[in-house]
Structure 1
Amino acid sequence: MPVDQRVVHSCYHCGARLPPSPVFVALDGRPQPFCCHGCATAAQWIRDADLGDYYRLRSDPGARVDAEAADLGAWDGKELLAEHTVPVDGGCEITVLTDGMRCAACAWLVDRALERTPGVLDAGANAVTGRIRIAWDPARTRLSAVLGQLSMLGYRPYLAGDPAAERQRVADRRQWLLRLGVAGLAAMQTMMLSEASYLDFGHHMSVPTRDLFRWFTLLVCTPVVFYSGWPFIEGAWNGLKRRHLGMDVLVAGSTLLAYFASAVATVRGGPHVWFDAAAMFVFLLLLARLLEQRARRIASAQVDTLARARPVLAVRERADGARESVPLSALRVGDIACVAVGEAVPADGELLDPQALFEEALLTGESHPVTKRSGDPVYAGTHCRETPARLRITGIGTATRLSQLTRLVEQAQAQRPPLAQLADRIGAVFVGGVLLAALAVYQGWRLVEPERAFEVALSLLVVSCPCALSLAVPAALAAASGALARRGILPVRAGALDRLARVTDLVFDKTGTLTRVHPVLEAVEAFDGMDEARACALAAALERDSGHPIAAAFAGEEEHLAVESLQLVAGQGLAGRIEGVDWRLGLAPFAAGRADDGQVWLGDGTRAFARFTMREGLRADAADTLRALRALGLTVHLASGDGAAAVERMAAILGIDDARARQRPEDKLALVHELQARGRTVAMVGDGLNDAPVLAGADVSLAMGEGAALAQRAADLVLTAPELMRVPAAIALARRTRRIIRENFAWAVGYNLIALPLAAMGRVTPGWAALGMALSSLVVTLNALRLMRRSREEHRP
């Protein structure tokens, strides 16, 4: 029987292009092509398990299945289970991550596949977050066997970060969804019951029937107000205790006022009730709150992406050459780790092999694998490619670059910028003004049409709820932070984006910023009986712990000399004692007492023993970056600690008019202050190693995220990848963010300027007021999400 022509060029399971000799398996009497035996086996199992609806329901192809079964025995380790599982009735529970779920059909398949796995008590997959919750009985099956079922279907498991916090987030989200569901069902029922009264234009409904409908409406509306609306009531109470009039005060006040006034009218047989307005108000506000939370979750997905980079176990080489699998917590600095092809590096280290290829896209955004040579740093979370590698561990746990990056992401998410605080203050004043206005409107209508006074005042309170005003800044900042994180730019200080949007001048450092971070030692000249090899060894020992980019030039030299009293002299060089002799390495006046020639000298302060000629290359995108910055209307300055010749040459190549050489950190700071005194807003771009004063003194600062820059805290933003084009991209996004925040504020203010007078004139019912308020909040949220859409449309530099 012929193969289905619609899928003849791609794998039936994963959609990958077929190899020259594909694998064919008969499914439902028809041979289907597969790219490998792994996908064929998965498809056969899905059919045999009567889960073939997966192929009908899915909207995207599945994940490719490895033909060789992954070794998941490490998941059964006692230390791992103790750290990442929690006890439940009948067994244990763990939450894992996977990057194979593409659509809701994947989650459906995972749920049903795990339900049919012996020993599994409960399971739940989330296609949006890529998380899978598994409860199993250890007495009946091992965790590795359960995860093997997932891996067989193409869903490779990874450890999730902070399982306790994730469980709390999942529980909170479920409760919010339950509150929304209760409010939605009750709001529909309330509207249906209220509609009967609204449509009784001729007043033909009998009073007992009307009262019966009202009592039913009271019963339906009560859980909406006191269960679904409890977060607003609790927030209002906490705000009042702090003497703060926030949005929740107005929300809870309006809801409770409508509910209790309607309840009193129901008991007394009054002419009007407003249960429908209370129920709709709570439902629509919950919906807007969930939309905001979703935007924040999308923006914070980077933390989960980083969590996936952590391997479960590490392979350690013992002194006798044998290898053993150990938990990451068992690794120590100095251990030798072995990384197989395709596996993640467990900790930071130095490569021991002559050469190896690593994929650093997660940490740096570099799309192509990076070639590392012996002695080069290798970072946790990167993946080994083509050949296995051995490395000596230099950083573990929180000292790894991956952990530092994770902390920066979390810090960026937790920040509360001044703009958001300003919006809160405006909101508090606005709430107070609305309460006074509602009281005045109520008194005015009491004089004109007393029977409508309460309804008009209630409509005013509802329609003016400052949800849009409160969401204007947080929604835009959440979307912008997510867009920046995907481009490898992390704002780590509050207000960084706002200040970046106002920048007029940029001051660049040269070494490690406009030039590549690792200079090359081009030539060595020895004097006064000094041997070149000995000079290099002395320089390597002094530079070993300096953290300066020049240290990379001596990485291949023997450096087993002990250094005592090492001292860094900012802008000058290094001083230290080796084998009882004082040595200096740095600028000629500092190290050798000679005139400055822009090279690195080794001496004792008065005599010269060696001169090192360094060659540093311009970053590939430096010229394009400066052109892009000028196109944005920015003025570029260069301030470098290097000699005049090197700085002038760099300025000529890049077309920089204001270039200053031999700039110490205090000189760079003086330049920033000079520009600020002229009314300019200054951004400093540096490597973060010895520029802490000027990074802190600039209006906003960006640090290159290579090496020690991730560990420093002087910068406002950190570029996790060595691509300068991300600087103009960040500025452009910051400007769009500021524009969208202004649009959100304009919408919120404009909406209230129109809605408040209409409500005060009695032209808006409480129900329509609730709908208008919700639509206003929705407009603000969707406008903020444009930031994420635009960032995806931009081509990566």
Structure 2
Amino acid sequence: MSGALASATTAATGMCAHCGDALPRATDSFCCEGCAAASAWIREAGLDDYYRLRDAPAGRVSPELDPAQFDLWDRPEIHAEHVVSRDDNLETTLLTDGMRCAACAWLIDRALHREAGVASVSANAVTGRVRVAWDPARTRLSHVVQRMAALGYAPSLATGTAAEDARRRTRNRDLLRLGIAGLGAMQAMMLAEALYLDFNASMPLATRDFFRWITLLVSTPVVFYAGWPFIFGAWREWRLRRLGMDTLVAGSTLLAWGASVVETVRGGPHVWYDAAVMFVFLLLGARMLEQRARRMASAQVDTLARARPAFALRERADGSVENVPTHALVPGDIIGVSVGAVVPADGVLLADALVEESLLTGESAPVTREAGQLVYAGSSARHQPLRMRVTGTGAATRLSELARLVEHAQAMRPALAVTGERIAHRFVAALLVTAVVVYLGWQWHAPERALEVTLALLVISCPCALALAVPAALATAQGQLSRLGVLTLTDRALDRLAAATDIVFDKTGTLTMGRPSLVRTDLADGVTPARALELAGALEHASGHPLATAFPSPRPCVIASELVRVPGQGIAGRVDGQPLRIGQAPFAANRVDDGAIWLGDGHHALARFEVHDAARPDALAAVESLGALDLTVRMASGDAEGPVDALARALAIASPASRQSPEAKLAMVRALQAGGRVVAMVGDGLNDAPVLGGADVSIAMGRGAPLAQRAADLVLQGDSLVRIPQAIEVARRTRTVIRQNLAWALAYNVIAIPLAAAGLVTPWLAALGMAASSLLVVGNALRLSRPGRVPGVAA
């Protein structure tokens, strides 16, 4: 299919032929001039195969690409941190969110190679990294990034040349070791095959010894260079006085190589070079596959780093605009964000805007934010530019907080992983004792085979699969949860979430939007509507209560003081010296509770307010999906019986509990736990912190109170409740995969160790079996990176 035909076909579906966004008119092929220009350039450059090869649409191209806005990429401070000199060229690594498939990497590679002065390009669709080297005498970095932006791949800076160089050196060294081990293993196996086929011992001794000496030369770099990570790891384990997998790997490899050298020198009957090199090669392959699983899991940190734009448009005092590095922004600055650009800092909107928060929440659909609402760094402007006042920059942004949470989650060592390591350590100790017993037994029975059998036993029983069974699955699961916008904060989170039988929701701010609106006001004699709202607003806004949004902000001269929050009842304080209370009727006005919010002095009423908080759009779908996962869904709320029952009926939640104080919620959870239930709690407010801490596993809403988040095991970013059943499905799949991996590792060793001890397995075959076991475990864990299916929830 040609590029033109692809454009026409895509346009016929009402989608932009380049980026896939909705078309403004049915007769158009592109959503904007930027995408049209990008598509035209691709066709003119002869790269329209991109449209045939790609798996996903490109990013939207801003129609307002001013070449001057890229000039800051050439500033010395940017080059000092992110650009390195190699030979006569400069080199840097860029990150881009838009690279969604191999075709995108192909397009970037071909397009940048066409730019004059570009020496080399390496684009990786998996990591979203683009490494570019250019001749500074012929071109500038700004020209390169401008071409990427013009194609819809908005570039951002990576984490600095030092980190990138270290990452690249490590990867290249690992690939070199694997390559040397692979070549050595092939050559050693070819020479060993010639020796194995000499069934009648008819090969001349000179030829046999020649083959052995050549194999020695081939295997030595494999053992001591490619296998150095295992040798160094064994030395570190001995220094720490603990036995581990590296001790067994290095010991077996050095034993096979050393015994083979001795047999080569003295002309003995057997050598085992092939087992040593096969062991190293196959183990390196398994280890690199496991590292790939960890890199996939940690890709979310790179995604968060990618969302930090290098520059921002800041308004000067005279109304003009300047392009400044993001780190130069300070709270109070007024900045602009163009269409498709990423918000560089946290701030308050100065006008209504449509914002995409997919990086922060996992939801790709744009949301409307009103003037005065917070917008976070990492969001992007959709359809129209936005203006905002900066409130937080750098490490103080929510984006940085998310990055820290993700890194914390990935650095955790859950109890299951620690237990697995402890079992592996004890297994190694027991295996070494077994190996000594087997060696002595074979010395008595058939001395000529004692070393060979012991070596096969050590190799085939290496607990690689056991050591990888849990960490590989947990690392992959963490990455999948991060992509869903669910962050784990404790080491027990996944295990307990998978075991949950009941899930209890708070109402306000959890099942509802948390944006209550005032629908009715009743006043006492002598109280004006304006005064009632002002007094109520002063108490609510000063306390930071979620209901504050239902009341207008008070004038600066109206000050609330001596505030006391009474959990489950309301707020007491003084406004302009007058003692007031707001909350439930018995607390605020000594009246019978009718579900409304009352303002009074504790004895007499001043006003009565009715508020309404709409349910979240996906609350019903989330509840239905949780029911399909066999969880019992419950609701416990501090609100009155009427609103709670109405919401419960709408969401098909049986037996909701209303007027629940924090202590009552905790008692409810404790009662369920006493009955053998495993309870998950979902909440967002300060009042939810005790029950979040008391539940078996707890989930805090990402926009909720910080105290609630600190008490939780998981934090749900964004407003989508369907992420909860998706997270539970991931947790359950993770539990299944871990059990499968542990069962396989156990069954493998139960079968393999007796066979090896009986002398029925050769050392090279033992190496093959051990590596196959490890690869199976890691491959099984990688299945978690594929999205699962939750009834009622779109993938």
1:747 to 736, 744, 749: 744
TM-score normalized by structure 1? 0.90
Cα distance in 2, alignment partners of residues 765 and 62 from structure 1: 53
Cα shift readout 1:329-364 (whole Å, capped 9, x = no counterpart): 2323333222222222222222222x3212222222
1:391 partner amino acid: M
| C-alpha contact 2:35 2:152 (8 A) present in aligned 1 | no
Q: Structure 1 residues 744, 626: closer, same or farther in 2, change over 3 A?
A: same
Out of 716, 719, 723, the residue aligned to residue 722 of structure 1 is 719
C-alpha deviation, 1:582, in angstroms: 4.7
- Residues in 1 aligned to 2:699 and 2:790: alpha-carbon distance in whole angstroms: 24
Aligned letter for 2:612? Answer: R
Aligned to 2:692: 695
Counterpart of 1:531 in structure 2 is: 528
1:433-474 CA distance string (max 9 Å, x none):
111111111111111111111001110111111111111111
**Take 1:403 and 1:417, find their aligned partners in 2: how far apart are those partners?**
24
- Which position in structure 1 is the counterpart of 2:276? 278
Q: Report if the CA contact (8 A) 2:701-2:709 is conserved.
A: no
Alignment of 1:46-65 (within 5 A): 46-47=45-46, 63=58
TM-score by length of 2: 0.90
CA distance in 2, matches of 1:374, 1:348: 14
Matches within 5 A, 1:378-417: 378-417=375-414
More deviation, 105-114/735-744: 105-114
**Cα distance in 2, alignment partners of residues 573 and 328 from structure 1:** 42
- Matching of residue 356 in structure 1 with residue 353 in structure 2: yes
Q: Aligned match of 1:777 in 750, 774, 778? A: 774
For residues 716 and 793 of structure 1, what CA distance do their matches in structure 2 show? Answer: 22
SS of alignment partner, residue 490 of structure 1: strand
User: Displacement of 1:743 after TM fit?
Assistant: 1.1
Q: CA contact under 8 A between 1:700 and 1:716: conserved in structure 2?
A: yes
After TM superposition, list the pairs within 5 Å mapping 1:195-234 onto structure 2. 195-234=193-232
Secondary structure of residue in 2 paired with 1:713: helix
Distance apart, 1:97 and its partner CA: 0.8
Q: 1:675 to 1:81 in 2, by over 3 A?
A: same
Aligned position for 2:442: 445
Give secondary structure in 2 for the equivalent of 1:494: coil
Deviates more, 1:597-606 or 1:382-391: 597-606
Q: Specify whether residues 347 and 106 from structure 1 end up closer, same or farther in structure 2 by C-alpha distance, changes over 3 A only.
A: closer
SS class of match (1:535): helix
2:253 alignment counterpart: 255
Alignment match, 1:514: 511
Q: What amino acid maps onto 1:170 in structure 2?
A: R
Partner of 2:242: helix, strand, or coil? coil
- The more displaced of 10-19 and 468-477 is 10-19
454-463 vs 635-644, greater mean Cα deviation:
635-644
What letter is aligned with 1:403?
S
Partner of 2:731: 734
Q: Is the 8 A contact 1:547 1:689 kept in 2?
A: no
| Amino acid aligned to 1:769 | A
The farther-off stretch of 638-647 and 443-452 is: 638-647
Deviation at 1:10, TM superposition (A): 5.3
**Which of residues 360, 369, 374 is equivalent to 2:371?**
374
2:242 match: 244
Can you list the C-alpha shifts for 1:266-314, whole angstroms capped at 9, x where unaligned?
A: 2222211111111111111111111111122222222222233222222
More deviation in 88-97 or 555-564? Answer: 555-564
The equivalent residue for 1:28 is none
Secondary structure of 1:204's aligned partner: coil
Q: Share of identical aligned residues, percent? A: 58
Corresponding residue for 2:583?
586
- Letter in structure 1 aligned against 2:422: R
Q: Deviations over 1:706-750 (max 9, x none)?
A: 254598321111111322222222222222221121111111111
User: Which whole-Å CA distance do the structure 2 matches of 1:360 and 1:38 have between them?
Assistant: 25
- Mark the CA change 1:386 to 1:541 in structure 2 (over 3 Å): closer, same or farther: farther
Distance 1:629 1:172, change over 3 A: same
Q: Please name the residue that 1:313 is paired with.
A: 311
Query: In the alignment, what sits opposite 2:296?
Result: 298
Q: Is the 8 A contact 1:62 1:101 kept in 2?
A: no
Compared with structure 1, are the counterparts of its residues 694 and 21 closer, same or farther at alpha carbon in structure 2 (3 Å cutoff)?
closer
**Worse-matched range after superposition: 438-447 or 241-250:** 241-250
Q: Which residue of 2 aligns with 1:40?
A: 40
Distance 1:344 1:4 in 2: 29
**2:330 aligns with one of 332, 354, 357:** 332
CA distance in 2, matches of 1:152, 1:38: 6
The 1:56–1:533 alpha-carbon spacing in structure 2 relative to 1, beyond 3 Å, is: closer
**2:760 matched residue in structure 1:** 763
Q: Which residue of the other structure, out of 620, 632, 635, is the alignment partner of 1:635?
A: 632
Task: Quickly say closer, same or farther: Cα 1:346–1:21, change in 2 above 3 A.
Answer: closer
1:156 is matched with which residue?
154
Partner SS for 1:691: helix
Residue 698 of structure 1 and its aligned partner are, at CA, apart by: 1.0
Q: In the alignment, which of 643, 650, 655 is matched to residue 647 of structure 2? A: 650
**For the structure 1 residues 223 and 632, does the alpha-carbon distance in structure 2 shift closer, same or farther, using more than 3 Å as the test?**
same
Is it true that 1:498 corresponds to 2:495 in the alignment? yes
Q: Corresponding residue for 1:621?
A: 618
Which residue number in structure 2 is paired with residue 29 of structure 1? none
The CA distance in 1 between the partners of 2:220 and 2:595, in whole Å, is: 79
Q: In structure 2, do the counterparts of structure 1 residues 3 and 476 end up closer, same or farther at CA, with 3 Å as the change threshold?
A: closer
Q: Residue 534 and residue 89 in structure 1: after superposition, are their counterparts in 2 closer, same or farther (change >3 A)?
A: farther
- Report the more deviating stretch, 787-796 or 678-687: 787-796
Partner residue in 2 for 1:31: none
How has the CA–CA distance of structure 1 residues 729 and 110 changed in structure 2, closer, same or farther, with 3 Å as cutoff?
closer
Tell me the SS of whatever aligns to 1:612.
Answer: strand
Query: Structure 1: which 5+ runs fail to align?
Result: 24-33
Q: RMSD in angstroms over aligned alpha carbons?
A: 3.3
Is the contact made by 1:638 and 1:656 (CA closer than 8 Å) also made in structure 2?
A: yes
- The amino acid that maps onto 1:356 is A
Q: Is the 8 A contact 2:596 2:609 kept in 1?
A: yes
What residue in structure 1 maps to residue 783 of structure 2? 786
In the comparison of the two structures, how many residue pairs are matched? 780
* Superposed CA offset, 1:135-171 (max 9, x none): 4565664321232243455543122246544442332
| SS of aligned partner of 1:544 | helix
Say whether the 8 Å CA contact 1:405–1:710 is kept in structure 2: no
Closer/same/farther in 2, CA of residues 79 and 614 from structure 1, 3 Å limit: farther
Q: Which residue of 2 aligns with 1:194?
A: 192
Q: 8 Å contact 1:62–1:154 — kept in the other structure?
A: no
Contact 2:2 2:49 in 1 (8 A): no
**What is the CA-CA distance between 1:556 and the residue it aligns to?**
6.7
How far apart are the structure 2 equivalents of 1:586 and 1:3?
66
Which residue of structure 1 lines up, in the alignment, with residue 460 of structure 2?
463
Paired letter, 1:678: G
Give the corresponding residue for 2:286: 288
Relative to structure 1, is the Cα distance of residues 393 and 612 closer, same or farther in structure 2, using a 3 angstrom cutoff? farther
Q: Conserved in 1, the CA contact under 8 Å of 2:56 and 2:100?
A: yes
Aligned letter for 1:628?
S
For residue 633 of structure 2, what is the amino acid of its counterpart? V
